Amino acid sequence: MAARDDNKAELGPRPSATNYAVYNPQVELIEAAIATGEEETQLPRKELFRRYWPAAVYSMLLSMALIMEGMDVGLINNFFAHPAYLRRFGWPDANGKQHISTQWQGAIGAGNNIGSIFGLLLNGYLQSRFGSKKVYVGTMVLMAGCIFILFFAVNVEMLLAGNIICGIPWGIFQTLTTAYAAEICPPAMRGYLTAWVSMCWGAGSFLATGVLRSSVNNLSDAGWRIPYAVQWVWIPPLFIVGCVAPESPWYLVRRGRIEDAEKSLRRLARKDHYTEQSMAETLALMKHTNEMEKIEAAGASYKDCFHGTNLRRTAVVCMAWVIQMFNGQSITQYAAIMLTSIGMDATMAFNYNMAIQSVNIVATGTAIVLMGKIGRRTFYLFGTIGIGFFMLITGIVGFATTRSQSAIPTAVFLIIVQCIFKISLGPTTYVVVAEIAASRVRAQTIVLGRAIYVCCGIITQQINPRMLNATSDAWNWGAKTGMFYFGLCFLWVVWIWFFLPETKERSFAEIDYLFQKKIDARKFATTPADIFEFTPPDPTAAKILDVEHTETPAPAPEIQEDRRAK
């Protein structure tokens, strides 16, 4: 925090609260809330979580819906190497071996993403209108029904339809959980709880790999149906948690339901945490932040995401998702396919795939621990450099060895890439998009960014099987695919350096100010923020100030008479 104080000269001295207090006494409450938030960033994690343990529990439990999505993605991409799955849905190739063509692999994978786009856009409307709680519970019920389609599929056409329909609730969960995690906790906890969303996704991917590995030798229909059925296990407990969880206080403030917002805030902290004074301070800052953002997002619609500085914020969110998808880590989702195509047998390929996915939980846990000490830009920059380096090494191995010789080195490099990703880009993306988006259009901005991510996913699901597979209808690049992603990582490093802002330890109001002042991304961490510069805390204060400083008292009657005489 000292770095900001040392640079206050960049924007000039900050107006004191007393200048406004005459017209709006809530300014003192707002400044007290900001000071409290800054103090909390210096607290030990144990004390911080002790104060807000209900918020942490609710956020972590509701985010576990992403375990199901991670499972689904892990199943889709690796089922194509599963013997029972190929036996049921595949057909013989020219050599008489059961397979599913790369065209159908791409279509089935893309089906999930197409459904996700519909779900994402739907959530942008539903969450802002009905709140996180109602949408979460309703979507969980929808998810329970959608799984039946995949469980009882009889051909690839039904698999495609099932993945499209299942993608709709997945799309809703993808953005709803991130926005909720960001809104129910103080700024000092945002990094931890939004990074947890990535932990849940990784845990689902690992669970999918484990279930597939345990059923790889089961050639009956149960070999592929059991992994789908496991997803039902999560629905009852998560449905109950959704019913008892409090609504986002930011949503309630945006709706003008201040009393309900107060009740929600009290449920998200330990019982003795909020006094009447501290509650008034917190609500005053939230209302002021909402008023600041009405300048450029009065309607809180998708259209507002492209107005004024919100356009820059939307662009940053979208690029953060693009980098997460197009850095090379996506090929680890196809590890079983890639390793079998370069000579490994199915059992050994799934063993290595489990090793690749096993780092998810440990690596993401490491990132969560470091989140309070390391900035978002640092995570992104060095994570991308690290992944790019090992993509380069993987590509060189692909050129320097035969396919069979490159199998084990490629598997090892993929484990390292997955580890780097989960320590850096994986969890940090969820933090960045939750903090960069303006509060009034947070759901819509995250939806647009995630929709771009899903579209990128559709592209990778078309090109990755073609690059990695050794079948006659594929490009047969194998480990050489690393060179392609190395080139993309080089571009992303340049973008991160010049355009990704640092939002660590910044309140939403401070982030709003920095964007409205059009501060260079590299100076976000050191520029002081005066949140009262653009709008007074209360709209009525503007009128009072305007009357006080612009109106001139009427001349005395004697003076008016003298003027008429002249």
Residue 472, pLDDT score: 63
Residue 193, pLDDT score: 86
pLDDT in tens, 64-85: 888 887 787 777 767 777 788 8
Lowest-confidence region among 17-21, 372-376, 418-422, 448-452: 17-21
Residue 24, pLDDT score: 56
Residue 443, pLDDT score: 80
Confidence of residue 341 (pLDDT cuts 50, 70, 90): low
Give the pair of three-digit tokens for residue 439: 């509060």
How many CB atoms are closer than 10 A to CB 288?
25
Residue 286, pLDDT score: 86
Mean pLDDT, the chain, whole residue set: 80
Examine the pLDDT at 551 and tell me if it is beyond 60.
no
Of 35-39, 305-309, 400-404, which has the strongest mean pLDDT? 305-309
Examine the pLDDT at 21 and tell me if it is beyond 50.
no
Share of the chain above pLDDT 70, in %: 84
Looking at residue 70, its amino acid is G
The DSSP line for 512-554 is: HHHHHTT--GGGTTT----TTSSS-SSHHHHHHHHHHHH--PP
pLDDT in tens, 98-114: 778 878 877 887 888 88
Of 126-140, 341-355, 465-479, 533-547, which has the strongest mean pLDDT? 126-140
Confidence of residue 499 (pLDDT cuts 50, 70, 90): very high
Residue 239, pLDDT score: 94
The larger pLDDT score, comparing residue 311 to residue 185, is at: 311
The larger pLDDT score, comparing residue 230 to residue 4, is at: 230
Confidence of residue 564 (pLDDT cuts 50, 70, 90): very low
Give the pair of three-digit tokens for residue 275: 């006094």
Confidence of residue 471 (pLDDT cuts 50, 70, 90): low
CA angle 552, 553, 556 (to 5 degrees): 135
The larger pLDDT score, comparing residue 344 to residue 234, is at: 234
Strand partners, 99: 91
The larger pLDDT score, comparing residue 5 to residue 367, is at: 367
Q: Are 72 and 112 in contact (CB under 8 A)?
A: yes
Residue 384, pLDDT score: 95
Does the domain made of 36-92+99-523 have the CATH classification 1.10.3300.10?
A: no
- How does strand 98-99 pair with strand 91-92? antiparallel
**Rounded to the nearest 10 degrees, what angle do helices 425-436 and 508-516 cross at?**
80
Give the pair of three-digit tokens for residue 492: 């992303």
The larger pLDDT score, comparing residue 34 to residue 56, is at: 56
Residue 442, pLDDT score: 85
How many whole angstroms separate alpha carbon 21 and alpha carbon 538?
11
Strand partners, 98: 92
Residue 232 has phi, psi (to 5 degrees) of -65, -25
Lowest-confidence region among 91-95, 158-162, 384-388: 91-95
How many whole angstroms separate alpha carbon 301 and alpha carbon 124?
8
How many whole angstroms separate alpha carbon 443 and alpha carbon 138?
17
Total H helices, total E strands in the chain: 27, 2
Residue 216, pLDDT score: 75
How many whole angstroms separate alpha carbon 90 and alpha carbon 562?
102
> Average pLDDT in the 526-535 region?
78
Give the pair of three-digit tokens for residue 67: 């375990």
Confidence of residue 342 (pLDDT cuts 50, 70, 90): low
Query: H or E segment at 435?
Result: helix 425-436
Residue 299, pLDDT score: 62
Residue 403, pLDDT score: 61
Examine the pLDDT at 2 and tell me if it is beyond 60.
no
pLDDT in tens, 136-190: 999 999 999 999 998 998 888 998 999 899 889 988 988 888 888 888 888 888 8
How many CB atoms are closer than 10 A to CB 402?
11
Cα Rg of the chain (Å, integer): 27
Q: 322-331 burial string, b = 16+ CB within 10 Å, else e? A: bbbbbbbbbb
Examine the pLDDT at 6 and tell me if it is beyond 50.
no
In total, the chain counts a number of residues equal to 566
How many whole angstroms separate alpha carbon 109 and alpha carbon 160?
8
Residue 241, pLDDT score: 92
pLDDT in tens, 439-458: 888 888 888 998 898 888 88
Strand partners, 91: 99
Q: Are 65 and 238 in contact (CB under 8 A)?
A: yes
Confidence of residue 566 (pLDDT cuts 50, 70, 90): very low
pLDDT in tens, 254-294: 888 999 999 999 999 998 888 888 888 888 888 888 887 77
How many CB atoms are closer than 10 A to CB 138?
15
Examine the pLDDT at 536 and tell me if it is beyond 80.
no
Residue 507, pLDDT score: 83
Residue 92 has phi, psi (to 5 degrees) of -65, 140
Examine the pLDDT at 524 and tell me if it is beyond 70.
yes
pLDDT in tens, 242-255: 999 999 998 999 88
